A = this chain, B = another copy of it.
Amino acid sequence: MSTAEETTGGEVEPWEEVTPDAARRLLVAAVEAFAERGYHATTTRDIAGRAGMSPAALYIHYKTKEELLHRISRIGHDKALDILRTAARREGSATRRLADAVSSFVRWHAGRRTTARVVQYELDALGPDARAEILALRRQVDAEVRGIIEDGVAAGEFDVLDVHGTTLAVLSLCIDVARWFSVDGPRTPEEVGALYADLVLRMVGAE
């Protein structure tokens, strides 16, 4: 509940903005391969094979293997930022908005774990320009969370000693979900989202 659209446990691919169809199939294949084996260990032959195409077909739609990673990273960060902004801009107390932001952000990192893994852990494989672009998006992500925490402190809802440090810890906690979450594990993305929202409210001294 909240970001609406897809809060599914399994991973339905919302890459509908990527066209044509062949380019999208290649991109989805690349997300899976990068998430499973890492960018450097993934071969262009593997990506093309997963998409049911010959190795050469990849280069009709993408200039290089790195361009694939860049596109994935850009779209993923846009989506993550969108989720946080939606929660941050909603009506309600800072407590409610923070719980909302954390639970939807965590649900995304758990439910769409393959995408989140690539987005969060393969940043170093990008070249300097692409990396700089993505880092700018990350600063916006940080600013959204920090904004809610500052609101809560100003309203007297939160008791926080170090706003920047706490923001960092909250985001770190959410992001790392992509590393350990498993669909075979005992928890659903919704359960982890609820647990984490509670833990984060404790961290900021809410209630």
Contacts and interface: CB of A to CB of B under 8 A. Distances in A.
Interface of A: 37-38, 40-41, 121, 124-125, 161-162, 165-166, 168-169, 172-173, 175-177, 179-180, 187, 192, 195-196, 198-199, 202-203, 205
A173 B176 CA distance: 8
A180 B123 CA distance: 12
Contact of A179 (B38, B169, B172, B205): B172
A195 B203 CA distance: 11
A82 to B, nearest CB: 22
Contact of A172 (B121, B165, B176): B176
A202 B176 CA distance: 19
Contacts of A202: 202-203, 205
Chain A binding surface, main DSSP class: helix
A118 B196 CA distance: 27
Among A162, A165, A192, A205, the most chain B Cβ lie within 10 Å of the Cβ of: A165
A196 B180 CA distance: 20
A100 to B, nearest CB: 18
A187 B165 contact: yes
A201 B125 CA distance: 36
A124 B37 CA distance: 8
Among A37, A124, A168, the most chain B Cβ lie within 10 Å of the Cβ of: A168
B173 A196 contact: no
A35 to B, nearest CB: 10
A166 B166 CA distance: 17
Contacts of A121: 121, 179
Given A38-B124, A202-B205, 11 more contacts: A38-B38, A38-B40, A41-B125, A161-B198, A162-B195, A165-B187, A166-B195, A168-B180, A169-B173, A172-B180, A203-B203
